[in-house]
Structure 1
């Protein structure tokens, strides 16, 4: 049984964390300091990488389970951002995803960031159909943002 402790991981409250599904010692954390930090738990004195793309508290961080270079974050700055973190993924450097695995639309948006309103309810599909669906409170239907 391994127990990890990262003292003072963020300057303020830590809101969420997620382990990399393909690199057992890699952990992502986010918090009220507006940062997303990536840690190697074997040597957690300093983060491996830090993202400062949000302007307010970062509430959620998630690795994509199929392609761990894709990181999704949500913040109270009203944005959801999809980041491409190839430098810390389990894929060889410079390798994103096999072209056969991507649709034309996904290929065009591979390295872009996507934003959505935080007032919306966010649904991430676990059906491997590569879509993000949103719907505002009170709406009966969700919009497909794939």
Structure 2
């Protein structure tokens, strides 16, 4: 793997985190870094880099879709589901605190990462739903190539 691409992905991830922190700061009228707007666009860069890394790593070794998706699920879903359960507990107690920016929240879509247009209990779960869609597209491309 090209290390510089991994470094770029880490920088992109940090910029996305900064973007989200700044959004929260704006909600509480904290003026620090209010000029920082590039984080919004870095999400696209992060997805592009992730796609490149995924294609590069799967091309270099024989991997079945079952092993591929199992590895991704065991790495990503336990922590996501733990956070979703915590958000669900908060949502049950005080629904206005979870996704307070409006919109309908779907518990089912949240747990199964279904991109149905509703909000997830963990608001940033939408990125994982698109990541898993990409995994299935990648698998479909591999099937066509074989």
| TM-score bin, normalised by smaller chain | under 0.3
The structure in which a higher percent of residues are helix is 2
Larger RCO of the pair (alpha carbons < 8 Å, separation 6+): 2
TM-score, structure 1 length as denominator?
Answer: 0.21
Greater Cα radius of gyration, structure 1 or 2 = 2
The structure in which a higher percent of residues are strand is 1
